[in-house]
Chains A and B, each alone.
Chain A
Amino acid sequence: MRTSPATRTAQYAAMLLYVVFLGFPLLWLVSTAFKSAPELSRLNPTLLPTDWTIGNFQAAFQQSQLLSALRNSLVVAVATAVITTVIALPAAYALSRYKSVVRNVGIGWILVSQVFPFILIVIPVFIVLRNLGLLDTLVGLVLVYVVWALPFTLWMLQGYVAAIPRDLEEAAATDGASKPVVLRRIIFPLLVPGLVATSMFAFISAWNEFFFALVIIQDPALQTAPLLLARYVGAEGSVNLGPLAATALITTLPSLIVFGIIQRKLVSGMLSGSVKG
């Protein structure tokens, strides 16, 4: 059945409204980042700045350790994504393909591990890291993030593995392919969308995480971007809004860029998961 022009117009209008709804916070962030302090204190704020200023960006770079915080966040987030994915990949394959008691216990562990809130484990984690000599190090932070992200990434990835038909492996084995060859030539290429999705999840989780970083990192040179952002909010709700918006905009860019680069893989991953199995 053909869609009528009126229906199609309404669909596009609805989609446009939805995009505006989703994009408005980002637009407001950009607008705030370019407004001066007096303009930010106006009773009736305007959508766009009346007097554009880059003063907030200058303040963000001059008055804080923005560059080192961004570097630290990038190091921690990429390391978390890579290590999590490397560990989760073989584990997810084993969980998905081999039916055993270990599989049931493993899945049970994954689900149970999601039950514990941050606040319950933060002091034990702090003490363990101190005893390992990893307190106030990025390695310690990565270790915590990997442990924290691993259960969910494992859960996601084993779903992708399960969506790959066993017939493909059996056909390759029938043609004489060894297990490593099957994994490398058949399974891995089909899992790429899943790997992208799970590593993206681990990356963003680590990039945005605040509480563990707050308690683990003491050295100003090792602080991550969320810790830096928190310092723009003072007591009793007072906020240094302009520099906060500028810093938030800058710290949002890496996530947007990473997402932009891999979004096609992500979408194809979703689609592949939905039609196979």
Chain B
Amino acid sequence: MNRRLTVTVTSVAALTLVGTLSGCISGTGGPSTGAQQTSGGKVTISFSSYAFQDLTVKATQEIVDSWNAANPDIHVNYQKIDPNSVHDKLVTQFAGNSAPDVIHDEAADIAGFSRQGYLADLTALLPADLKADVPASVWKSVTIDNKIAGVPTIAQVYNLFANTGSLKAAGITPPTAASPWTWDDLASNAKKLTTGGDVYGLAWGLKNPTAGLMSSGLAFDGTFFSGDEAKPTISVTAKELEVPGRLKAMLDAKVMAPTSVSQGGSDVLPGFFAGKYGLIMAGNYVETQIEQKAPAGFSWTMLPLLKGLNQNQAAGPQTLSIARQSTHQAESMKFIAYYLKAENLAKIAEGDALIPVTTSAAAIVKKDLAGKHGWDAILDSGPSLVDAPWAKADKFPQWKTETATPAYQEFLAGKIDATTLSKRLTDGWAKANG
């Protein structure tokens, strides 16, 4: 090794070690998570959030900053985590007794943590006005074994996004909240919008189809599960097969883009922007991406929830929970109540393009977004959000990954028929549920 290289390497190494040591000294020297009480009586609580969209991250930071400014004795430490690692990170933190005090998660994920005793029962901590501000059906979705495991914040629905130029060209009048499209209307309008070549009436990124299909199936009373919340029994009848059957029919009729079965939720956007699909079905969070990415002059709107027997969809809201290990649960609840103040939750909902579950925040969002891209009808869909029976089943995540998703994919691809799909779903649950 020549002398210059030796000196360079040695210098870098020395600087690095100094940097590491200074990092250690300036760090917490121990867990930064969990509440800490300083000698002056000031409490620091940690708040982990997987907010992803830029606007939501900004809104979350503003909420934390304004709280910290107004509450010098209860300091909130905001920790940003990526949405896809929430569960893994929490598993480790709970096992290591190092979980954040306030945990941003979602209803489908907190049931298991609650049953394992990692989440505080919020029933006695909840302020009465906050409890009254959220519909009972949504509270039900976060109540695990009679304990409220999280405070619901914002929720997602699956709705149609329409290229209004394409609708107009096909002579189709957009539906209204008072007169929404039925699934039959969707099929007939998708046919009108299919003009041949590679232009299809409908696209729906169904690479991971289970959540969307099951949620949409509630409109036909396709509940799948009944009985014990943790270990329910499954029943796959014509009601549960209604939505996948209708989608398969549209695929077979070539009015739904065949690429749908291999695309992710937002992968259909380039084709939507290019006029290849008149309608796309997606989680309403896609609204933000359309706002950011749509080419100039592209006109579009969201349509009211599709109607089957009703317009029901699964209420799977994002949640704020408190770790049972937290030594400052009362202070944590005060922060959660502040986070859910109407003007704060409205900012979060508008950033993520999701529906606020409190009526007070929904009123603000509705006022802010009145007449814009069909937001009025989407915000009115709050009462259609119902507790999904599968959300609290212990083995649902395993069944979803190992059984339901591949079975739905094979059905939509034409590899298995409806009878086989039903049997696969039923047998898979029996196996997963022991």
Contact = CB atoms under 8 A, between A and B. Distances in A.
A215 B89 contact: yes
Contacts, number: 157
Interface stretch (A21-29, A95-103, A121-129, A153-161): A121-129
A176 interface: no
Residues of B in contact with A, size category? 35 or more
B31 A220 contact: no
Contacts of A174: none
Contact of A230 (B30, B32, B82): B82
Interface residues of A, number: 49
Interface string B76-94: 0011111111001101110
A204 interface: no
Interface string B278-309: 00000101100100111110000000000000
B16 A79 contact: yes
A215 B82 CA distance: 12
Contact of A219 (B32, B85, B88): B32
Contact of B19 (A63, A75, A123): A75
B9 to A, nearest CB: 8
A133 B27 CA distance: 11
B292 A137 contact: no
A222 B24 CA distance: 10
Nearest to A238: B266
A126 B12 contact: no
B317 interface: no
B96 A123 contact: yes
Given A38-B293, A75-B19, A137-B27, A237 B207 contact: yes
B12 A78 contact: yes
B406 interface: no
A136 B88 contact: no
Given A127-B96, A136-B28, A218 B79 contact: yes
Interface in B10-48: 12-13, 16-17, 19-21, 23-24, 27-33, 46, 48
B23 A63 contact: no
B20 A138 contact: yes
19 contacts: A37-B293, A41-B273, A41-B293, A75-B16, A75-B19, A79-B20, A130-B30, A135-B32, A135-B98, A136-B32, A136-B33, A189-B1, A214-B89, A215-B92, A218-B31, A233-B82, A237-B208, A240-B52, A240-B54
Interface of A: 37-38, 40-43, 59, 63, 71-72, 74-76, 78-79, 82, 122-123, 126-127, 130, 133-139, 142, 189, 192, 211, 214-215, 218-220, 222, 227, 230-231, 233-238, 240, 265
Given A130-B96, A137-B24, 19 more contacts: A41-B270, A42-B274, A43-B276, A63-B57, A79-B16, A82-B17, A123-B91, A126-B95, A127-B96, A133-B30, A137-B23, A137-B29, A220-B78, A222-B23, A231-B81, A233-B82, A233-B84, A235-B52, A236-B208
